[in-house]
Structures are given as C-alpha cells and as structure tokens.
A and B are shown apart, each in its own frame.
Chain A
Amino acid sequence: MTVTEQHAATSASSSAHSRRWLSFLKHQRTTENITGWLFVAPSVILIFIFGIFPIGYAAYMSIHTWRIRQGAILCDSEPVDFIALVRSCLSNYESAVLGDWGGAALFALGLVGLFVAYIVWTRLFSKRHENVYAVLRIVAGLLVMAVGITLISEGYNTMTGALRPRDQAFLKGLQITIYYAFGSIPLQLALGLVLAYVLYHRVKAKAFFRTIFFLPYVTPTVAAAVVFGTVFSGRDTSPMNQLVQLFGGDVQRWLAEPRPFLNVAFGWNLEGFIAGPSMALVVVIILGIWTYTGYNAVIFMAGLGNIPGDLYEAARVDGATDWNIFRHITLPLLSPVTFYLSVLGFIGTFTAFNTLFVMRTPTNAGTLDTSALVIFDTFRAQNRWAEATAQAIVLMLLVLAMTQIQRSLLEKRVFYG
C-alpha cells in the first residue's frame, strides 16, 4: 500500500469523499493489472510455448524411448530402491551421453580438483610474504592439479569405453567444442581489445572502422562459410594455397585435412586430447575469429569511452608509462566488458551450428562435429529422438554451469567501476 492509499484508508470512515477516492484507487490498480497483462500476453504466451515449455518437454522426452514415435517410459516400474529408479529413468543419459556413472563421477571429481588447485593458487598470490607457505602452496596446487587431470582423463576413458561406438560421438563432439571455444575466444578477445585500443584515440578512423568491423558480424553465417570454404579449399589454386606457396610453403589441404593441426604444422604425433584440433577445425576457428573480432572491438571501444579521462590524466601526472596505464587502468576497468564478451563467446561456440554444418564434408572426417552437430545427427540422421534430447539437455547444463563458473571465478576479479 502506498502512502496515499494508507492515508485514504485511515480517513475513509470519516467522509464519503475519501471512500470514493479509495475505490477509485482500487479500480485504478485493477485496470493497471489488466492492461499490463493484456499488453504482455501475446509475447508471454509465445515465449512460454516456444521457449520455456520445450525445456520441460525435452526432459520428458529424454526419459522415454522415442524413435520418431513416443515409446514407453524408461523408469523401472518395480524399482529395488530409489537410486535404481532414478538410474532407470536416466538410462538414455547413460547409454547415449555419459556411458558410465562411475566414469562421469571421476570426471566431475577431476574438474573439482582443478577448481581447488585454482583456489590454492589464487590464495598463494594474495599472500606473497610467507615464503615457506608459498612454496608449499605451489607444490600442493600442482599436486591437486595433476590428480585432477589424471582423474579427468581416467574418467573420460571409462566413459567412452562403456559407450557403443556410435554413442561416443557426443563426448568426442564435446572435445571438439572445447577446442573450438578455447581456440577462438581468447584470440577474438585479445585482437578485439588491441584493435579497440589502437583505434580509440583516432576519432575519424574510429567511425570508419566501426562500420567495417561490423560487416563480418552481420554477414549471414552460411554465406561466410561458403566463401571461407572456397578461400581455404584444398585445390592448389585456392587463395590460401597461393599465399602459402608465395612464402615457399607446401600446398595444404586446409578444410579437407582431418589430421591434427599440430601434426600438419610441426609433424608432432600426439595422441588423445592433446593432439589438438584438426586442420579443418583451425579453418573454422579462423572464421570464428574473423566474425567476432570486429564486434568485440566495437564493444570494447564503447567500454573505453566509459572510462573517465581524469583517471588517465592523474596517472600521467604521477609519471605512469603507457603500458602501466593500460595494465592498471584500462584493463581492470574493461573487465566487465571482457566478462560479458567471453560469456557471449562461450554460449556462441557451444551452440554454433551453421558454419560447421556448411563446412563439414566427408573429407574432414567428422573432425568438425561439435556437440551441437552430433545432437542434430542423432535427431535427424539416426532418428533417435530421446537420446538426442538427452544430449541436448547435457549440453544445456554444461553451458549454464560454465556461465555460472565464469561468473563466480571472475566476479572477484571483475572491477565494476
């Protein structure tokens, strides 16, 4: 109740006028409620039907057998105990995504280990004066990290080992997604920041470049993928091969090259996760960087514009160098922008579809199949709808968890002016 209403309520008994006023206010509030709901109804209904309800329905599908038509629910009708019931309900997740619960638990434990190592590490940097403890912490941190990595790889192997070959695609897809994310996001951010910083003080150039920078971002991704596919095609007349030959290099197969990039470039023969992305995926990463660097630069420029000028002047008076100013003023004050862009980048790479779909060919042998593409295949090519929704839900949980982790890890370091 607002002050006027209370006032109206207390004096209501004394005069008919106040009573009318009170009923007017009530009437007014009901009208506001009705108009408000009428105004939002169309979009709330639409978003509920096509945005929120499907999440629940996907969960519903994922605990059934469902190949084009709905089948039986998977939950055990006569469970031994509660855990058996839950496990039977989630058997799609077990058979199509995770493989083995024990392996998945090991994997998760490994991630927790890495997190602990991180905490030990940051603590270490905050108390530099205690030398003995510092060394101890380094050792402890490294140990925990080593254990974490072992657990992760052990868990990953158990998980894939328990899966049938066609079901291993999703976990492999996650690995490819991680290459894609970590290959493109840091470079996009760094290049974007450098471009923004260099161009920020040149006012005339800024407007021009702002227009140019957005071009890749607004270009339809399918068209960009087609053009990149031609520029990086394996023919020896393709622009990239001409460029390589100009510098005396050998003709490369680029997008048609399923071998790991590190193998092609340096001849290293690495196995497992550290083998790195395939040459074809590197081309996709380059396309990703091309698309988002300019966008990031423009957002960074807007961020730079929000930094008050007197800070720079004060620092100059104190005799700070350009690097010092960049390191201790610009970078911390830009951290909210960096945070926002990196979250956007993670969501973008984990859900990217168009470019990868257009650029994948039999020649790059599934090395472009990120989780999003695997889900599409499970749905469209194999018609295993329940498994596809289970995979999609795991992907969604991962994206949500990662944005949350990024938030909690970076929150302390992000400096909100």
Chain B
Amino acid sequence: MFPFLWMISNSLMTLGETQVRRLLPESPQFYNYIEAWEEAQFSRYFLNSCIIVGITIAGLLVVSILSAYAFGRIKFRGRNVVFTLLLITLMIPESVTLIPNYLMVAGRIFPLPAIGTDAGIFSWSYDNSWIDTYAALTIPFMGSAFSIFLLRQFFVGIPNELWDAARIDGAGHFRFLIQIVLPISRAPIMTVTLLTFIASWNSFLWPLIVTNSDRLRPITVGLYNFSDEAGTRTQLLMAGALITIAPILVLYFLTQKTFTEGIATTGLKG
C-alpha cells in the first residue's frame, strides 16, 4: 500500500518538499496534475489509450461471445480440436509471435486491407501497411483464447431447459444468445471487459513497435517518455503516474465486487 500513498502525497508536493524529508505536503498542490498533463502532452496519449481500449473491447466482446457460445453450446464437427488448438496459444510467450506479427501488420507477409487509410477495406495489397494505424493496435488483440475460455465456462453451465423452451418458441441460436444468454451473463462479460481493459490500458511493447510517431501511442508510452523528461521533478512524475493509473482505479472501485469474485472463482479453473 505504501507506494500508492507515497505516490499520491508526492504528487501533491512542491518541488522543494519532495527533496526534504517529508511525508505529507504542507498544502496540496493540485496544479501539479495540470502541469504534468500539459507538459507530458497527456491529452493526446490519454485519448489514444481510450480509443485503443474502446475498439479492442468492442471487437473482442462481439467475437469472443459468439465463439464462446458456439464452443459451449453448439455441437459442431471439429469443435474440440479447434478449442484445444486455441488454448495452446495461452502458453506461447509474446516474444515469439512479436516479430512475425510485426511483419504481418507491416504488410510484408501477405496483402492487407487498407484499414485506417483512404483506400478502404476492399483494397488488398502488399503496399498497405498498418504501421501507425489503430488497426494494428487493436485488431490483433480481438481474438483472445482466454476470454473465450472464461465465457465458455459460464455458457456451458446454462441449463438446457432454457434452450429447449426457446427452441419451442422458434428461436435459433442467435436469438437465444441475444435475448436469453446475454442478459443472464452480465457478471462474466463484466469480468472479461475489465480484464481486457486492464491488459489493453497496460499495453506498451506492441504499440512501441507498430507505431513510428507519438501520434497514436498510448499513455503508457507517454508516461515512459515523460519519466525521462521530468528528471528530478518527482512531484510531476508522480502526478503523471497517478493520471495513468486513475482510470483503472476508478473502474476497479466501481466494479470491484464483480471483479474480485470473478477472478477468485475463474482464476481457479484456469
């Protein structure tokens, strides 16, 4: 707990106060936040992070819910083989896939649609590169074996009577999923959303590699750059760190009950 309190208290100090031995500021300097925000150009980084996280979560939820439902409740040929294959990716370190993925989003392995440029998604060509686009920052993270696994565990447990009843009423899988399954699956979907939010807000290495300029880089990169610039001005650096953490903290405290229970129960099954 100490690092948190120290960070908060220091982010409110004057420069002089951080250098003498003090635990608490004389009077809180809220202006530090504004100064850090402006000096580190957090407006842009913060917005970028929000966009990246937003797109990733939206895409991931649609894709994962659909397939988790199918893996859990539709018996189709090859289901188990494919599912096992997906789970294997959980054990693969990022450093192995990093370089091939970089080549791929640079359009050097196969032609890419021109997402994020003027040519649109119907122009497939080796010339289209996703470097410095939101597509490169979000699309690779939309397919997540972990999220699928987590949701599937819940969907499997939904009583068959519900499905039978829906089928008698003439509903297909898609309507059943939208009208019955989704409303009762709030908690696991919330957990997946939160975990994705955290992972996506935390991303650092991949954005660093697939962007050439600071234009699209997220707040973690912003803070990393700022840690050089701020130098000995501890109060500004701590204010910057707090700004980076703040959205997660707010979200975490708002949803912490769902969240902690979600992890405590699903973590065990993982």
- Whether A389 touches B99, Cβ cut-off 8 Å, given contacts A54-B104, A226-B237, is yes
B26-34, B66-74, B181-189: which one contacts chain A?
Answer: B66-74
| Chain A hits for B253, CB < 8 A | 211
CA distance A243 to B217 in the complex (A): 37
Q: Are B268 and A230 touching (Cβ within 8 A)?
A: no
Cβ of A302 < 8 Å from any Cβ of B?
yes
**B3 within 8 Å of A by Cβ?**
yes
**A35 vs B88: C-alpha distance when bound (angstroms):** 24
CA distance A55 to B92 in the complex (A): 9
A299 CA / B266 CA spacing, docked (Å) = 10
B177, closest chain A residue (CB): A39
CA distance A347 to B198 in the complex (A): 19
How far does the Cβ of A63 sit from chain B's closest Cβ, in whole Å? 14
Using A36-B76, A44-B86 as known contacts, say yes or no to A228 and B92 having CB atoms under 8 A apart. no
Q: Is the CB of A36 within 8 A of B70?
A: yes
Residues in B with CB closer than 8 Å to A267 are: none
Q: Is the CB of A214 within 8 A of B95?
A: no
Q: Which B residues touch A37, using CB under 8 A?
A: 70, 76
Chain A interface mostly: helix
Contact with A along B1-29 (1 / 0, CB 8 A): 10110110010000000111100000000
| Contacts known (A36-B76, A218-B252, A298-B260); A223 close to B223, Cβ less than 8 A | yes
Given known pairs A35-B70, A43-B148, A299-B268, the reply for A239 and B6 (CB within 8 Å) is yes
Given the complex, which residues of A lie within 8 Å of B234, measured CB to CB? 230
Checking A46, A299, A353, A388 against B143 with a beta-carbon cut-off of 8 angstroms, the contacting residue is A46
Which residue of the partner chain, among B20, B89, B220, contacts A222 with CB atoms under 8 Å? B220
- Mask for B229-270, Cβ within 8 A of A = 1, else 0? 000101001101100110011001100100110011101101
Given A42-B66, A51-B145, CB of A389 within 8 Å of CB of B96: yes
Q: Collect the chain B residues with CB atoms within 8 Å of residue A61's CB.
A: 99-100
Whether the Cβ atoms of B21 and A53 lie closer than 8 Å is no
Q: Roughly how many angstroms separate A379 CA and B142 CA in the complex, as a whole number?
A: 25
Q: How far is the CA of A47 from the CA of B64 in the complex (A)?
A: 11
Given known contacts A40-B66, A226-B237, A230-B238, A403 and B91 CB-to-CB distance under 8 angstroms:
yes
Q: Smallest Cβ distance from A135 to chain B, in angstroms? A: 42
A43 and B63 within 8 A (CB):
yes
Find A220's partner among B91, B220, B263 (CB 8 Å cutoff): B220
Q: Does A134 contact B (CB under 8 A)?
A: no
B92–A39 CB distance below 8 A: no
Judge whether B173 is part of the interface by a CB distance below 8 angstroms.
yes
Chain A: number of interface residues, binned into ranges: 35 or more
C-alpha gap A87/B145 in the complex (Å): 35
Whether A395 is near chain B, meaning CB under 8 Å from some CB there, is yes
Give the distance in Å from the alpha carbon of A35 to the alpha carbon of B174 in the complex.
9
* Bound: A347/B7 CA distance, A: 29
Per the bound structure, the CA–CA distance linking A10 and B62 in Å amounts to 43
* A-chain residues with CB within 8 Å of residue B7 when the two chains form the complex: 227
Interface residues on B, range: 35 or more
Q: Report chain B residues within 8 Å CB of A337.
A: 268
**How far is B142's CA from A227's CA once the two chains are assembled, in angstroms?**
30
Please state if A298 and B263 are interface contacts (CB–CB under 8 Å).
Answer: yes
In contact, B4 and A379 (Cβ under 8 angstroms)? no
Partner of B100, one of A33, A58, A400: A58
| Binary contact readout B187-203 vs A (1 if CB under 8 angstroms, 0 otherwise) | 00000000000100110
A-chain residues with CB within 8 Å of residue B82 when the two chains form the complex: 40, 44
Residues of A333-374 contacting chain B, CB below 8 A: 337, 340, 347, 350-351, 353-354, 357-358, 372
CB distance from B175 to the nearest CB of A (A): 12
A51-B89, A227-B241, A242-B21 known; A395 and B201 CB under 8 Å? no
Cβ of A57 and Cβ of B227 under 8 Å apart?
Answer: no
A303 at the B interface (CB under 8 A): yes
- The answer to whether A40 and B67 touch across the interface, beta carbons within 8 angstroms, is yes
Chain B residue nearest to A66 in the complex (CB): B99
The complex places the Cα of A227 from the Cα of B4 at a distance, in Å, of 8
8 contacts between A and B (CB under 8 A): A32-B76, A35-B70, A47-B145, A49-B143, A51-B92, A215-B249, A302-B268, A353-B205
Which 4 pairs between the two chains have the least Cβ-Cβ distance? A36-B76, A46-B143, A39-B70, A54-B100
Other 16 A-B pairs with CB < 8 A, given A36-B76, A52-B88: A39-B67, A41-B67, A42-B62, A42-B143, A43-B66, A44-B67, A51-B97, A53-B100, A58-B100, A218-B198, A218-B248, A226-B241, A299-B264, A353-B205, A358-B224, A392-B96
